[in-house]
Structure 1
Amino acid sequence: MTLTMFGSLLGGIGLFILGMRLMTDGFKYAAGRSLRGILARSTRTPLRGILSGALITALVQASAMVTVATIGFVNAGLMSLRQALTLIYGTNIGTTMTGWLVAAVGFDFNIQAFALPAIGAGMFLRVLRGESRAGRLGEALAGFGLFFSGLDVLKDAFGALGQSLQFTAISGNGLLAMAAFVGAGFLLTVLLQSSSAALAIILTSAAGGVVGVTDAAAMVIGANVGTTITALLVVLGATASAKRVAAAHIAFNLITGVVAFAVLPLILNFLEFVQALLGLSAGPATELALFHTVFNILGVLLLWPLTGHLARFLETRFRRGEEDLARPKYLDRTLVATPVLALQALIRELQRLGDLSRAMAKEAISSERVDPRNLEQERATTDRLVDAIGEFSSRMQQSNLPPILAEVLPNALRVSRYHSEMAELALMVGQSHGRAEELGPADVMEPVHAFKSRVVRLLSELDRQRVDFDEESADKKMKELQDAYQDLKSRLLRIGAEGRLPVRRLVEELDTLSNIRRLAEQADKAARYLKTLRDYLDQEHQNDATSPSPSETSPHQDS
């Protein structure tokens, strides 16, 4: 191999991977919200889930994008694990489209005649329309052109390489020889971190005569199994739901790979028989693309009847992290690459944090003799969740966010801060109850208990209004609460002036009531800002001049 050959090979791989990345990013931002809707509607039956996963993956050429979206839906409770499994099956079938693209262009076709105009038109659209949906589609089109440009370079590199290099040293029909080629395909995918790039290299090398069809088929099996390493790396430290989806992906690829390896000669002989029967003369690339598709479909047929058993088995796994209240349940770093799904997961975690802080507040307010140690543990739990939410939000900010999400994301930090302050105030209220003496006469106790009950009812209403927060009703209730607090404060001051309540005890009770009032205010602010996040999530995912800014839709400023 000459230095020129090596440079051409390296450059072709680089162009191919860059094209895949641009295609993935372009489709991800242009169709993120649409993808969410399509997947949500397309998993009502197992067959629809498989077909949808295959079709979407084939169109966007990004199985990782569909897998991440699937994890997001399972995390958000919008999709069951069983439904997710059908999408995973379909995604593996959809990845075979790369092979068909390589085979479809042929090797007498002038690829650059198509690729260069696609790159030019795509980048022109990207520059002209910027971050809009049309601009992102232009980016995907340019990536598509680069995809084929890289393919053209690989074709020439392997064509020259095939004349001077043959893998005769390990080629053969023995089990060890086939296993060596499976290992080569596996290693290629792990090194490139892209099964599509590995598959393109394998198919073009077979077409260039570097490896035989049987050896290349073994490498295709290895490339298919190699994607499991990517899945393992992605879910390290991820949520239990993400680990279950990744485990399903790994199980599918391993089982399919083992079966395909065991019956490799039979599948290839069957494909040759079909070609001879139909009078077809397919080249190596077409034959390998067909092989890749057939053994993935075979894997689906094998696992489809076992989907229910596999889902139930996986749901019993990875429970320890899920049962830890302080560990995020919905936040998953794999979602950061898909902003709409990341924001959805962030909202779900903020709702969960709100549930914990409101429960802690109601416990502190309602119990006259609460154990401060329990509250301290609960406070530590909320602190850890707040830290995780902050870290996740920071990761989102560092990614390439659409402007509308970049502007609204700080509201998530406001919500987490309000819930953190609620937890701190609840701890202070609980500690004050532990130190306080009885107020004394019933005419003193009754209005205090009535005020506390009013706040507990307000917190309970916020629990019920997690999704549909009514700002008008909340304004009215908060005004009534403020009026009730001022009346109670005046009443207690009069009682203290009459000498019916010790000054020290009066000051302690006023401080506690002030903390309870502030606690209600923080809960109200958190609910208002959380509503703005949900409103942005519901808006059309696009960046145009008419989109409202956070300053136009955010609630009143912090006091």
Structure 2
Amino acid sequence: MDIFSFATLLGGLALFLFGMKEMGDGLMLLSGSKLKDMLGRVTSNPIKAVLVGTGITSIIQSSSATTVMVVGLVNAGLLPLSQTVGIIMGANIGTTTTAWILTLGTLGAGSTYLDLLKPTFFAPLIAFFAVGILMFVKDEKKRNISKIAIGFAVLMFGMQVMSNSVVSLADSPAFHELFVRFKNPFLGMLVGAVLTAIIQSSSASIGILQALSATGVITYGSAIPIILGQNIGTCVTAMISSINTSKNAKRSALIHLFFNVIGSVVFMIVFYSINLIRPFAFLDNKLGAVNIALFNTLYNVSTTLLLLPFRDKFVKFVIWMTPDSKHKEEIPETQNIFGALEARFLESPGLAVAQSRQVACRMAEIVKHHCEISIGLLHSFDAQLYQESRDFEKLVDDYEDHLGTYMVQISARQLTDNDNRILTQMMQSIGDLERISDHSYSIALSAREMYDRKISFSNEAQNELAVLERALQDLLDITIEAFCDDNLELAARVEPLEEVIDGLNDELRVRHVKRLQDGRCTLELGFVFNDLLTGMERIADHCSNIAVCMIELSQETLDHHIFLRSLKDSEDFHQMVGYYRKNYRLPEIPATDYAEQISLEESLANR
């Protein structure tokens, strides 16, 4: 091989690795949000776990990425250690898909029709049409698919360049001698493991071996140990990922390592023991890309079938290898709560968005419960519940900090339009949720003040407040359900109810002023009453912000004020306002008081 062929080989290798990465990233982007659903289907059924692992790895074209995700899920406490074995075994099967894709280059020997299926014919056409779509089509899904297609075309072109550049090695005695040495099982395995560990992709190292098979020098005897070593070398990525993780996360990475090591060792012992007794004649036969893909698939499938029945033994073995310390490993409370926000999921932005949404919904439910507790304290104060309210306020602050930081990291990644919309909505809404929690705590503080001073509202004021409280709690229920379910129909009901709550607030203030004038309320209670109305009004405003943000982003509306005006001018809005006004009527007041109230409202309006 001269310097020009060597330069071509390096260029082909670069294109091959780049195409594989681009195709994998594109597939991850397109399917990332669905990975959580697929992983969520994993049960104690080992067959399902293997199928899930196979499916995910076939989609994202990387067993290393699948295993890293498994390590992250275990570290977050979202996946039991016992259920990782099947997924990891399935990942080894799924990664063989790439090798079969690369065999397309071997089609078409002497047949015009089969020549049409060769990458040398269709890869340039795929690249041409994909680039055209990327340049002129605005549809996001089509653009993402075109990026995958471009990655595939570059991958196949790189494979072709590598194969062509190494053809001259067929006449090289040194190259022949090199692969004769690789017939030594231990040396071949070592080379395969080291190469795969360096490039951190067994699919890529298998592809390189397939490209080298074009020389006609590689035999079964030299290829088999290399393939076995490649399956061991791919474990490096998961082992690195398990650094600074929980004990179980480290164990899941060890399961991946031991599964591949034990599988390779068992195969080597059985295969080469038989070979000593009755030598296999085919070991000196040349093999091509298809044979490499076939052996790789048969090996991984047979290893899975052999070791799957011992999955529980694997778990016990790694637990024995990494025993719990005498003082049980204590995981900080914040890590338990925010474990779903795993940095490892950032490599799959769609999955990271789904995890953020799960945590944001948990935050929303806490905020709703906090508000319910705080309002309940107005009627029956309890020191323990007050402390819970105080703790919830601090917890929600932590949620906002962790979620905000994590979502900023996600926003730096490449996202689909839908994931970007969800992320933007959550980033805006967690601030409103935190403010709702703050105002809920202010209600609890007002309840504490009334309890400490031994003062209470009149029955009339309590009955009026009860209507506002009921409307507010219903508004919060609708808002949280709409937010967590991404239900735009429910979100559309929030603004009309918020409008009614604003009206109730105004009327309660007027009635309160009338009671002050009549001496039926003290100034001290008046301040508390006003604080409560302000807090409840602010909670309703933030509920409105969350719902309006959801609708705006779904309609890609940019001007908030124009959107609100158009919303409030609609017929549906006025109908819902009328409906809610009937449902949340304040208690009637005497006619004389009503006349005085109208006069008071007019005087306040004219100020």
Q: TM-score, normalised by structure 1?
A: 0.76
- Which sits farther off after the overlay, 49-58 or 184-193? 49-58
The structure 2 residue matched to 1:526, chosen from 522, 536, 546, is 546
Q: Is the 8 A contact 1:43 1:83 kept in 2?
A: yes
The structure 2 residue matched to 1:328, chosen from 317, 338, 344, is 338
CA, structure 1 residues 125+512, in 2 after alignment: closer, same or farther (shift >3 Å)? Answer: closer
The structure 2 residue matched to 1:503, chosen from 523, 529, 534, is 523
Q: Is the 8 A contact 1:331 1:345 kept in 2?
A: yes
Q: State how far apart, in whole Å, the 1-side matches of 2:504 and 2:559 are.
A: 31
The 5 A counterparts of 1:535-550 are: 548-550=555-557
Q: State how far apart, in whole Å, the 2-side matches of 1:53 and 1:38 are.
A: 9
Q: Which residue of 2 aligns with 1:266?
A: 270
Q: State how far apart, in whole Å, the 2-side matches of 1:471 and 1:168 are.
A: 67
Provide, for residues 107-166 of structure 1, a one-character-per-residue CA deviation record: whole Å limited to 9, x for no partner: 997864554444334333433435543333333233222222222333344444572344
Task: After TM superposition, give the deviation of residue 14 of structure 1 in Å.
Answer: 0.8
The structure 2 residue matched to 1:223, chosen from 212, 230, 233, is 230
CA, structure 1 residues 125+459, in 2 after alignment: closer, same or farther (shift >3 Å)? Answer: closer
Q: Which residue of 2 aligns with 1:378?
A: 392
Task: After TM superposition, give the deviation of residue 103 of structure 1 in Å.
Answer: 4.9
Q: Is the 8 A contact 1:72 1:345 kept in 2?
A: no
Q: Is the 8 A contact 1:360 1:378 kept in 2?
A: yes
Task: After TM superposition, give the deviation of residue 250 of structure 1 in Å.
Answer: 5.2
Unaligned runs of 5+ in 1: 537-547
Q: State how far apart, in whole Å, the 1-side matches of 2:535 and 2:448 are.
A: 15
SS in 2 for 1:263: helix
User: Partner amino acid for 1:351?
Assistant: C
Q: Which residue of 1 aligns with 2:163?
A: 155
User: Partner amino acid for 2:232?
Assistant: V
SS in 2 for 1:105: helix
Q: Which residue of 2 aligns with 1:145?
A: 153
Q: Which has the larger radius of gyration?
A: 2
Task: After TM superposition, give the deviation of residue 197 of structure 1 in Å.
Answer: 1.3
Task: After TM superposition, give the deviation of residue 415 of structure 1 in Å.
Answer: 0.9
Q: State how far apart, in whole Å, the 1-side matches of 2:522 and 2:82 are.
A: 64
Task: After TM superposition, give the deviation of residue 444 of structure 1 in Å.
Answer: 5.9
User: Partner amino acid for 1:289?
Assistant: A
Q: Which residue of 1 aligns with 2:303?
A: 299
1:191 pairs with 2:198: yes
- Which sits farther off after the overlay, 9-18 or 195-204? 195-204
CA, structure 1 residues 84+488, in 2 after alignment: closer, same or farther (shift >3 Å)? Answer: farther
Task: After TM superposition, give the deviation of residue 361 of structure 1 in Å.
Answer: 2.5
Q: State how far apart, in whole Å, the 2-side matches of 1:168 and 1:276 are.
A: 18
Q: Which residue of 2 aligns with 1:541?
A: none
Q: Which residue of 2 aligns with 1:127?
A: 135
The structure 1 residue matched to 2:366, chosen from 323, 334, 356, is 356
1:439 pairs with 2:455: yes
- Which sits farther off after the overlay, 104-113 or 182-191? 104-113
Q: Which residue of 1 aligns with 2:23?
A: 23
Q: Which residue of 2 aligns with 1:419?
A: 433
1:514 pairs with 2:534: yes
User: Partner amino acid for 1:251?
Assistant: I
Q: Is the 8 A contact 2:71 2:241 kept in 1?
A: no
The structure 2 residue matched to 1:283, chosen from 283, 287, 291, is 287
SS in 1 for 2:338: coil
Q: State how far apart, in whole Å, the 1-side matches of 2:18 and 2:402 are.
A: 32
Q: Which residue of 2 aligns with 1:543?
A: none
CA, structure 1 residues 271+120, in 2 after alignment: closer, same or farther (shift >3 Å)? Answer: farther
**Identity %, equivalent residues:** 20
SS in 2 for 1:220: helix
CA, structure 1 residues 267+140, in 2 after alignment: closer, same or farther (shift >3 Å)? Answer: farther
Q: How many residues align?
A: 538
Q: Is the 8 A contact 2:475 2:543 kept in 1?
A: no
SS in 2 for 1:283: coil
Q: State how far apart, in whole Å, the 1-side matches of 2:58 and 2:336 are.
A: 39
1:487 pairs with 2:469: no
Q: State how far apart, in whole Å, the 1-side matches of 2:124 and 2:275 are.
A: 35
- Which sits farther off after the overlay, 314-323 or 397-406? 314-323
Measured on the aligned residues, the alpha-carbon RMSD in Å equals 5.0
SS in 1 for 2:411: helix
Q: State how far apart, in whole Å, the 1-side matches of 2:505 and 2:338 are.
A: 36
Task: After TM superposition, give the deviation of residue 413 of structure 1 in Å.
Answer: 1.5
Task: After TM superposition, give the deviation of residue 293 of structure 1 in Å.
Answer: 1.7
Task: After TM superposition, give the deviation of residue 21 of structure 1 in Å.
Answer: 1.9
SS in 2 for 1:434: helix
Provide, for residues 66-110 of structure 1, a one-character-per-residue CA deviation record: whole Å limited to 9, x for no partner: 668889999999999887765543332121133334455349978
Provide, for residues 510-536 of structure 1, a one-character-per-residue CA deviation record: whole Å limited to 9, x for no partner: 113311331243245435545778xx6
CA, structure 1 residues 115+463, in 2 after alignment: closer, same or farther (shift >3 Å)? Answer: closer
Q: Is the 8 A contact 1:260 1:295 kept in 2?
A: no
Q: Which residue of 1 aligns with 2:91?
A: 91
Q: Is the 8 A contact 2:76 2:336 kept in 1?
A: no
Task: After TM superposition, give the deviation of residue 450 of structure 1 in Å.
Answer: 2.1
Q: State how far apart, in whole Å, the 2-side matches of 1:496 and 1:309 are.
A: 77
Q: Which residue of 1 aligns with 2:596?
A: none
1:365 pairs with 2:375: yes
Q: State how far apart, in whole Å, the 2-side matches of 1:369 and 1:213 are.
A: 78
Q: Which residue of 1 aligns with 2:208?
A: 201
CA, structure 1 residues 22+33, in 2 after alignment: closer, same or farther (shift >3 Å)? Answer: same
